[in-house]
Amino acid sequence: MSTTAAAEESRKIVKEEVFELDGRKYTPDALYNLSPGVRRLLDRRILQESSNPLNLLKRRIVDYVHQTYRKPGNRSPLFTICESEPRVVTTYQNFDSLLTPEDHVSRRPSDTYYVNHEHCLRAHTSAHQHNLMQSGLDAFLVIGDVYRRDEVDRTHYPCFHQIEGVRLYSKDELLGKKPDGKNVAELFSTAASAATERSPEKQEKHTLDATKAAEIQLKQFLENLCDELFGKDAEKRWVDAYFPFTHPSWELEVFYNGQWLEVLGCGIMEQKLLESAGVTDKIGWAFGIGLERIAMVLYGIPDIRLFWSKDTGFLSQFAGKMPGEDVKYKQISAHPQVIFDISFFLPSTVQFNDMTSDVYDTIRTVGGELVEQVKLTDEFENKKKEKKSQTYRIVYRSHERALTKEEVNVIHKQIEQSLASSFGVTLR
C-alpha cells in the first residue's frame, strides 16, 4: 500500500456492520477502535510462518514440554496445546474472569482494542483460562497473538505473542498418600483460625502445605524450561510480584549476556478463578511467557519490527533451522535514522491519555514499518487559555534502504493531516 493510500485509510476507523474474525461474526458499536494498521496485523499470523524466529522458539518450547512431561501409563503428552482459540474474546474472559478490577486502567479504550462493549481483541492468552478449565482440561499451553494499544519503540508493538501455561492438581496428585492410604496433607483450610486467612505466603482457602507443594512444582517446571532455553549454567533468581489472578506471585529472571532478563510471570492461581470455571477440588498454577522478549535475546534481534519483516535477508537466516539450533541474527540494515517532531493542540474535550493511544495507532498505520520509535517528549496545559498540547518525536528507519529527509517529510505530513482530520487536533 502506498503511503498516500495509507494516510487516507487512517483518517477513518471503519465500523462495518459486521466484523468477522476467525470464522465468527460480531456487530461493532461506538466503542470499536481497531485501526486499519491493527486490522492488517490480524491477517498475518506470523507465529505460523516456519521461517519466522517466533515459530522456531514456539516449537522449541512445545517440543521440550511434550518430551519432558508425560501422562503416567500411556505416556502421552501431559499438556494439551491450544493455539486455535478465537482472538476476539468477551470482556468477561479478558477482564472479569481474571479478577481485573472494574476501574483498572487496562479496561480503557486507550489500552484495549474493542469490537463492541462486550467483545475485544484478547490482551493476553490468559483470557482463555476460564473456558479451557471449564471444558475439563487440567494441563494446557495456550499459544497465540495478543493485542494492546501500547507505546511505539524497538521493544513494543501493537501485536505480540504469548505462551500461557496452566496446571491443576488434585489432592492425590499434589500431596500423595501415606502407606495407610491417607493423604499427607489437605489442599484446603477448613478450621476457623488464622490458617484460613490470606497471608503473603498463601490464599485464604489453601493450606500452607498445598501452596508450598504447588510452588515447588511450578518453580521446578519453569527453571527446567529456562535451562533448556538459556543453558544450565545461566544464573536464575525469583522475584516476588503481584498479579490480580495469582497469589503468591513471582517473576523469574535469568542472567544472560551480562544482564538480568525478566523471562516470565507466574503464581498460584486464585481459587476464585477455578471455582468460577466449576473446578472446586483442585489447586493450580499458571505462567505467561512473552515470546518476542525471549526471541530478541536468544537470537540477537535488536528491533521487534523485524519479526514482521518479509525481507528474505531476514527470514532466510531462520528458514530450515531446527528449534534447538543456536542461531544468531546477522544485521541486514545499518541505515541511518531520520527524526521528525510533531506538535499540536488537543481538542478541549480530549484528555492526554486518550489522545496518546490514538496518536500511536495513526503513526503506525500511516508510517507502517518505516516507523522505528515514537516518544511523547512534551505535554503542557495552559489552564488560562484552556489549551492542552503534546509533542511527539518520531524516528523513521528502514531495514532495507537509506531514507531521505524528503521522502520521510511526505509521510510525516500525511501523519499530521491524518491526526488533524481524524481527531481534530490543531497543528503547531
Residue 74 has pLDDT above 70, yes or no: yes
Residues 144, 91, single domain; the answer is yes
Q: Are residues 179 and 51 in the same domain?
A: yes
Model confidence band, residue 12 (pLDDT cutoffs 50, 70, 90): low
Q: What percent of the chain has pLDDT over 70?
A: 94
Tell me, yes or no, whether 262 and 201 share the same domain.
yes
321 occurs within a structural domain: no
- Residue 34 placed within a domain: no
| Residue 312 within any structural domain of the chain | no
**Residues 136 and 177 both lie in one domain:** yes
**Does residue 5 carry a pLDDT above 80?**
no
Please tell me which residue, 94 or 258, carries the higher pLDDT value.
94
CA–CA separation, 210 and 170 (whole Å)? 10
Whichever domain contains 223, its CATH number is 3.30.930.10
CB atoms closer than 10 angstroms to residue 64: 17
Per residue, the 3-state secondary structure of 33-68, as one string, reads CCCHHHHHHHCCCHHHCCCCHHHHHHHHHHHHHHHH
Query: Is the same domain home to 293 and 351?
Result: no
Span 241-285, pLDDT tens digits: 999 999 999 999 999 888 899 999 999 999 999 999 999 999 999
Q: What is the CATH number of the domain that holds 363?
A: 3.30.70.380
Mean pLDDT confidence for 299-314: 90
What pLDDT is attached to residue 1?
42
**Average pLDDT of the segment spanning 312-322:** 90
- In the listed set 245, 276, 298, which residue is the last one of a domain according to the structure? 298
Choosing from 298, 316, 348, the residue where a domain stops is 298
Interval 138-164: pLDDT, tens: 999 999 999 999 887 888 899 999 999
Amino acid 10: pLDDT = 44
pTM of the model: 0.82
The whole-number average pLDDT for the span 355-372 is: 91
Mean pLDDT, residues 301-319 taken together: 90
**H-run or E-run covering 411:** helix 405-423
In this predicted structure, the answer to whether residue 217 has a pLDDT above a threshold of 60 is yes
Domain end call among 273, 298, 323: 298
Q: Name the band, by pLDDT with cuts 50, 70 and 90, for residue 165.
A: very high
Cell of 255: 542472567
Task: Enumerate the β-bridge partners of residue 253.
Answer: 237, 262
Q: In what order do the strands lie in the sheet with 283-290?
A: 80-82, 139-147, 159-169, 283-290, 259-269, 246-256, 235-243
pLDDT at residue 417 greater than cutoff 60: yes
In a domain, 371, yes or no: yes
Whole-number CA gyration radius for the chain: 24
Phi, psi of 151, rounded to the nearest 5 degrees? -65, 170
Q: Do 121 and 48 lie in a common domain?
A: yes
Contacts of 360 (CB under 8 A, 6+ apart): 149, 150, 151, 152, 158, 374
Q: Is residue 310 part of a domain?
A: no
Report if residue 308 sits inside a domain.
Answer: no
Are residues 387 and 279 located together in one domain of the fold?
no
Cα angle value 284/286/290 (rounded, 5°): 175
H runs (alpha helix) in 90-207: 91-94, 129-134, 171-175
In a domain, 317, yes or no: no
Domain enclosing residue 145, as ranges? 39-298
For residues 204 and 156, membership in a common domain is answered with yes
Mind listing the pLDDT tens digit for each residue in 180-214? 767 678 999 886 555 678 999 999 999 999 999 99
State the total domains in the chain.
Answer: 2
pLDDT on residue 314: 87
Do residues 267 and 364 both lie within one domain?
no
- Whether 26 is in a domain gets the answer no
Same domain, 240 and 388: no
Q: Are 262 and 116 part of one and the same domain?
A: yes
Q: What is the pLDDT of residue 6?
A: 43
Cβ-based neighbour number of residue 130 at 10 Å:
21
Mean pLDDT of the chain: 91
